[in-house]
Structure 1
Amino acid sequence: MKILVIGQTSMEMYRMEFGNIGNYYILEPLFRNLHKTFPDATISTTLQLSDRFCKEENVIRLPLSLYYDLNGGNKEQVEREIEIAKDYQKSGILEETTPYLKEVSESDLIMDFSGDIWGENANLLNADRFYIGVCKVYIAHLMGKFTTLFASSPGPFDRNDHFDFAKMVFKNFDFVANREAESKAILSNYGFDTSRVESYVCPAFQFEGKQPEVELIKKYINRGGRKTVGFILTGFNFLQGPHNKWPREEEEYVNFVQLIEYIIREKEANVVLMSHSNGFKMPPDPFVQIHGSDFKHAKMLYDILMNKGYKDNIKLVEEILSPWHTKGLIGQFDVLISGRIHGAVAGFSQSIPTIVIDYGHEPIAHKTKGFVNIVGTTNFFVHPSNLSSMIKSVDNCFTGLENERGRLNEIMPKVKGTVNISFQDLKNNFTKRH
């Protein structure tokens, strides 16, 4: 058996592993569960994963150009591939081929792993990205292959020239496994056929972290009388976009600064500011990991609070931590406040009471609401524009700290087990076709 994993999630070389840390939380459990579910399968992917990952997780990396050309999309090529696939559908003979058509023809299961990029968000990144991705799935349909959109959060959508085409292709997925229920409602609102859509949870809940070195823990975690609150802020949490706007004015941080001041003064807690994204130098420079986009916001908060005299109660994680050690450090906090939903997943999955800060501007991330609903923490889901709501959530969280920790500890086995169910349902649906 052969499985081909394609998708519109982060495409650049190394980006899935060494960029947004939440991506890696999903990636590792995804491929491990695929191997566990289909133990005899060979797995290939157009995701640009490192040699280390491919070797350790037994995955074959294919050139990205099979799926998408970052320099210009390759719209003409994919439309030619569709014509070839249509001829194949009629004759059963592949008269002409391309590297992508060859991979599809040799594969039994095509998995589209697109995260929250299956929709208009794709076109915010590259020209024709969504259209080309949909075309690649359509080709698999024409060639009679089993297809699944898996562990994704589809939507929102532009009602452009390709909208009806996307709806048609979506209808013909054999199995759609969303990672939260909110996406199904979004799809229904846009008129998509959701008869083959099921809602599960994100594989990231199963990602296993590693405890950092003892000295690093001692550096950031106070085991004395004061509790430690982790704080993750991203560009999406600001009221004014775009998310990568830089520099930002100090006044844009006011609500976050006042929230942290409240935590330090009224809750008598220390706050650790940390990034949940990394970066790396791009070729032709040698590969070197650097701070990601979150770090500058953590540093800005740190500088503002230091200038206000909170040097004894505020710390900034300056080390570039791996996904494993990032989750491990999060597991040491008494409370986590996260503007990144997979940062929150790292807290939830370790039974850390967690407050989630929503996006402050477009694009609105419906996945965030979906994840919060899974864990049952809507009372700890706050909008960055509402300081009083954020403070109230902090009050409620601290008041019921042990109850919340116990509640998370009780529900997490079921949440994590739902990941296993999604893969078993994938196998069951595949088996019905074969």
Structure 2
Amino acid sequence: MQKLNLLEEPVQKLFIKYLMPSISATLVTSIYILADTLMIGRGVGPVGIAALNLLLPLFSLFFGTGMLFGVGGGVLLSISKGRRDEQAAKEYFTVALWLAVAFAVFYIAGGHLLFKPVTEFLGRNDTMGNYVDEYGRVLVTGAPVFLFSAFLQAFVRNDRAPKVSMVAVVSGGVTNVVLDYIFIFPMKMGMAGAAIASVIGSLLTVGILLTHLTSPDNTLKVVARPGWKKAWEVVVNGFASFLLEMCNGVVTFLFNRQLLVYVGDLGVVVYGIISNSALIVASISNGISQAVQPILATNYGAGRKSRLKETRHMGEMAVTISGILFTGIGLLLPALVTAAFVKPTAEILAMSVPAVRIYFLSFFAMGFNILYGTYFQSVMKPGYSLFICMMRGMVINGILVFLLPIAFGVTGIWSVMPVTEFVTLIICRFLLAGQNKKLPSST
């Protein structure tokens, strides 16, 4: 298979080649949680969805750590290749790999030792306690698999093999959906069955991704003395990706706590529906961003300023279309969105219909914010990317989730994300205007 030439082939052609594999990879990853939610909602009930929603921050932690080292090292690998420095590229892969191994061991050990206090902190109660135990114990056991799924996806994509990444995650996702149904319905394994299906699906993804390391096109090599100061560079450059993934967990945690205070378990059920919808939209936005990332990083390393701007504009067009589509679905079909996850009662619909309409307004700005975070990461401005993630993932919504409900009740909670995303978008445009003046000259 001929490898893509990221410095010479037309940007539009490269973007199209990366787009579908990247979206497929990120979207199918979200299907692991989405399939669990759909099957649990139908096979276990609303309390099962509430329990799953409380555990989502742990999944975000495991997957986000894989992104931390995978994207952090992958961007630096692509920049090194753009500069024709193959030794540095190998060193970045090596240190990122060992960091991933160390954290995988830590999560599986610490996760089981601290399982009860961690899940109590996340908000478990007597109603959902057994469901949390059933799903959570399996989830923690599979932590290394989830971590390496994200880690290898990033490196294989940056090694110019996006189709391998797509095949891996699609295969794992389909397997997860099929096993979800078998384990929950015919075999009556409940929450544990859903979690086991997710682990097996991710394990298949990792297995397929590992085949790239034995292919003739593979350039991901481990070296004996990688230069450990590069580990800090990997962490700094990848921290925004980690935070972006963790934003999902932080937002879920904050919303769950506030909803339990204002409306009880029903609010958590409705938010479980909304957060899973948001996961799909975020996955597509992430896919668009990951499609431009290797092109941006390689051309930045080679000083190709005009190709950087052209690549970013392609991403902006894609997230605009995505944002209009999903915002429109929320405004026009809120009851249908609800019915996709649970058999809605009148009580659930009364809360979910206005909640979906308000919350889905955030999807128009979300794609731009994710894209710009990836852009700054790819042009060696990880501080800007980190700032964007902090604003939209912790700072703005962390303040608003406590302030808006005081004035507007539960409606204020649903309004937090639209306000957060649009304020962040304004910040992004200011940062972008300043960065355009500092890009390297074209060569």
TM-score using structure 2 length: 0.24
TM-score, reference length from structure 1? 0.25
**Higher strand residue share:** 1
State the structure with bigger RCO (CA 8 A, min sep 6), 1 or 2.
2
Q: Point out the structure with max Rg over C-alpha.
A: 1
The answer to which structure has the higher helix fraction is 2
